[in-house]
Structure 1
Amino acid sequence: MPPAHRPALSRAGLATLTLLTLVALLTGCSSGPDAAVRGAPTALAAASGTAKSERPAADAPAAPAEVAVPSVGITSSLMELGLNPDRTVQVPPAGEGMTAGWYTGGAVPGDIGAAVIIGHNDTRFGEAVFHDLKKVKEGADITVTDKTGKALHFTVTAKESVAKNAFPTEKVYGPTQDRALRLITCDGDFDAQGHPVDNLIVYATAS
């Protein structure tokens, strides 16, 4: 799945962020036995919360409950993902591979900042929720429905496959004035341990 980092930055310090202590390693999303699903996407937002809006809580959007990418047949409820004890970002358990997760350390979808949704491509149990995400095209709609039932629409602006050891941390998790959404899963060939060597990142902005 997405890469594991140990963020420890303040809100004020993100503007001068250094990545020297962030390790972009991905595990999980493997078809091999007992794939390590604790590896996670890079977590700049976990360090600082800068992906979150400064507006009062009463005005903030509700937490997301479902994500759908109709053009590739993806619909999933969303679990909430936080940090592991080692401060890497959680990913959905392998046994719940058909359910994606929203990283609560980033922005709420629809608010200013980078909202991140993580899903497996494959697990040891077979194809998972984001298996067909690689088929999505620029201009496609992504719909996130919040817990009040409000549907928020995002338009895919780009996608890229990147090596896990060169994950674009700041690009994905860094500050932005857009109402941005990123979907992350695994991609590419398998290494000797049966783990995919790349990540697929889909970028979208509010429609």
Structure 2
Amino acid sequence: MLNDGGHGALPPTPGAAQALGFAPVSTVPPLGPSAPTRIRIPAVRLDAPVTGLGLDSEGHLQPPPAAEVNLAGWYRDGATPGQRGTAIMAGHVDNQRGPAVFYHLGALRRGDQVEVVRQDRATAVYQIYAIEVYDKKHFPDAKVYGRAADAQLRLITCGGDFSEKNGYGGNVVAYAYLVHTSTGGQGAR
């Protein structure tokens, strides 16, 4: 998520109509824990493998390796996608070679779906209910990372203003709640 935007075009930014209004609560029974292996977002043709992420020495979420442009990361010490709680996934928006895995995150709209395939072959399907951009200096940690009583997902990348000196000044965050699950490699229900 620390990128230099060297390819020239800024990524899409969500409009005000996509801002957080209310947070739906999932009524789908959550799955047990199992690490994610793949994320798909059909609306923006995203299909990428997932790796585990930890925290750096300052307690910030480490990004996936910058050279891996089609790799999303999942905070491995938090909830797994499909499990009760707030699952966190992050990815780069771009690097010097061009767009990366979450380049189109800001183009998502309410109602778009996110599919997360897990090691246990189950799939957790989430629905986007908000996409917002936050200034990095005023990032709402509690709002984004806070514990949820149901199964929620947050997708995070860089965004907002860009300068050659400082890179991106903000983060794009997509909020989603669990709407379907499948088990054992079956299609989502």
- TM-score bucket (shorter structure): 0.7 to 0.9
Distance 2:173 2:58 in 1: 24
Q: After the TM superposition, which parts of structure 1 deviate over 4 Å for at least 4 consecutive aligned residues?
A: none
The residue type paired with residue 100 of structure 1 is A
Secondary structure class of the residue paired with 1:145? strand
Which residue type is aligned with residue 3 of structure 2? C
- Structure 1, unmatched stretches of 5+, are 2-27, 33-58
Aligned amino acid, residue 147 of structure 1: Q
RMSD of equivalent CA atoms: 1.4
Tell me the residue number matched to 1:107. Answer: 79
Q: Distance in 2 between matches of 1:119 and 1:166?
A: 20
Which residue number in structure 2 is paired with residue 204 of structure 1? 176
Matches within 5 A, 1:1-207: 1=1, 28-32=2-6, 60-207=32-179
The structure with more strand, counted as a fraction of residues = 2
Aligned pair count reads 155
What whole-Å deviation, never above 9, does each CA across 1:71-102 have from its counterpart, x for those lacking one? 11111100110122343221011101211100
Stretches of structure 2 lacking an aligned partner (at least 5 in a row): 7-30, 180-189
Q: Partners of 2:150 and 2:97 in 1: how far apart?
A: 36
Structure 1: which amino acid aligns with 2:51?
Answer: M
| Separation in 2, partners of 1:87, 1:203 | 22
* Aligned-residue offset at 1:194: 4.6
Q: TM-score, normalised by structure 1?
A: 0.71
Report if the CA contact (8 A) 1:106-1:173 is conserved.
no
Corresponding residue number in structure 1 for 2:186: none
Whether contact under 8 Å (1:115, 1:182) holds in the other structure is yes
1:31–1:194 contact (8 Å) kept in structure 2: no
SS state at 2:67 partner: helix
TM-score (norm 2): 0.77
Which letter does structure 2 place at the counterpart of 1:143?
E
Aligned residue type for 2:5: S
- 3-state SS of 1:94 partner: coil
- Contact 2:4 / 2:167 at 8 angstroms: preserved in 1? yes
Question: Match of 2:147, SS?
Answer: coil
Q: Comparing both structures, which one devotes a greater share of its residues to helix? A: 1
- Structure 1 residue 152 displacement after superposition: 1.0
Matched-pair contact (CA < 8 Å) for 1:66–1:146: yes
Aligned partners of 2:4 and 2:164: how far apart in 1? 11
Deviation at 1:62, TM superposition (A): 1.1
Q: Take 2:161 and 2:75, find their aligned partners in 1: how far apart are those partners?
A: 26
